[in-house]
Amino acid sequence: MGIFDWSLLDRSSIAKFVWQISPNIVKQPLTVSAFHSIVSTHLKKSLPIRVKKSINPKVLEGFVYIGGTYYSGLDEEHKKCLEIVFEYTNKNNILNISIKRFWSMCYAVADSILHELIHMRQYRRRAFKILPDYASTAEKTELRQEQSYLGCSDEIDAYGFNIACELMDKFKGDQHRVIEYLNENQKGKKRKHNSWRMYLKAFEHDHNHIILRRVKKKIVRYLGAAKMGKPYRNKDWITW
């Protein structure tokens, strides 16, 4: 794999790049295969990434869930190591995506790429050493597994940037309102799902929990970076 300068990318530029295919997507009834082919071809045309199609019955009808994976082993071998995953409810689903939904998807792709790029930097800077997950003591297996994953230092860092971006969008760049929202007791309140709500649920809305305190601090530190749309300040570790 040749050299690619990831430092040239920011959240807005990635979203606008994905938006270029909107005439072929928006309000165009497409099969899952057709939609995935259009998106995958476009992404791989300019970015050294892998694109994966996955079927997940939990995906709502007409929606596409977007996530990512970073493969440290492939990165160590100088191979394509960032993967964007598109999840569909079933392979026969017909997608008819609105302008608003596709614009949100463009930013979901950007956020996933930057999340995995943060992981790339983490692993490269420590010579690909794997850090242990958080040692959760939750009684229920599912909750313990989620806490172990979300409580890992690497995920706190990556989600910290994602949440900072989400909340800066939500409150139109008003950092004071972001901090008020982070400190708010949201237990029992009906609110739109976001990554901060995911953390609150996983750690049972306990604002005194060590993990939620760490995540809050990380989010606040990333607010300036979120405004710029980049989690990094220089090119170190992300240009090979």
Q: Is the CA virtual torsion 35, 41, 42, 47 positive or negative?
A: positive
In Å, the largest CA–CA distance within the chain is 50
User: What CA–CA distances, in Å, run from 165 to 36, 67, 69, 115, 214?
Assistant: 26, 16, 19, 11, 17
Count Cβ atoms below 10 Å from residue 220 Cβ, excluding itself.
15
Q: For the segment 111-153, what is each residue's pLDDT rounded down to a tens digit?
A: 999 999 999 999 999 999 999 999 999 999 999 999 999 999 9
Tokens of 178: 């972001």
* Nearest Cα to Cα of residue 80 among 72, 91, 90, 89: 72
DSSP 115-143: HHHHHHHHHHHTTTPPPPPP----SSHHH
Q: For the segment 147-182, what is each residue's pLDDT rounded down to a tens digit?
A: 999 999 999 999 999 999 999 999 999 999 999 999
User: Contact 211/134 with Cβ under 8 angstroms?
Assistant: yes
**Confidence (pTM):** 0.95
User: Contact 9/113 with Cβ under 8 angstroms?
Assistant: yes
